Amino acid sequence: MKTKPYRIVMETLNIKGMMKNKHLSDAIRKQKLYEFKRQIRYKCKKYGIEFIEADKWYPSSKMCSSCGAIKKDLRLSDRTYQCECGHEMDRDLNASINLSRYELAN
């Protein structure tokens, strides 16, 4: 039997706000974010996987997954998360770890 996740946590992105940014709107259109979310929802329902949307103010990207500090000056161009505690990690991986703990934090 194939293993499946018991839970999927997705970030709530401010897509409407992001569409106002000319550079971001093209990328969002190409990545079909709405359609992606719709399909994830559908698959979760089909396979009995819990689907959670993290609050859009949850600082998944800005929070250090090691010490919990919030990096206020994180820029979109920063692809590596670097914390004062010495923790250094790929930005998206850091955000994913924070999202995986979302339920525990809220």
Please identify, using beta-carbon distances, which residue of 64 and 95 lies nearer to Zn ion. 64
Q: How far is the CB of 37 from Zn ion (least distance, A)?
A: 30
85 contributes a contact to Zn ion by CB under 5 A? yes
Helix (H) or strand (E) holding 41: helix 33-47
Token pair for 23: 């550079």
Q: How far is the CB of 62 from Zn ion (least distance, A)?
A: 11
Question: Measuring CA to CA, which residue among 93, 19, 101 is closest to residue 61?
Answer: 93
Q: Is 75 left (phi over 0), alpha (psi -120 to 50) or beta?
A: beta
The one-letter code for the residue type at 36 is F
Q: Provide CB contacts within 8 A for 6, sequence distance 6+.
A: 49, 50
Per CB under 5 A, which region of 27-35, 52-60, 81-89, 93-101 contacts Zn ion?
81-89
Q: Scan residues 12-71 and list those touching Zn ion (CB under 5 A).
A: 64, 66-67, 69
Which residue, chain included where needed, has tokens 């106002």? 20
Q: How far is the CB of 85 from Zn ion (least distance, A)?
A: 3
Q: How far is the CB of 47 from Zn ion (least distance, A)?
A: 35
* Residues lying near Zn ion in the complex (CB under 5 A): 64, 66-67, 69, 83, 85, 87
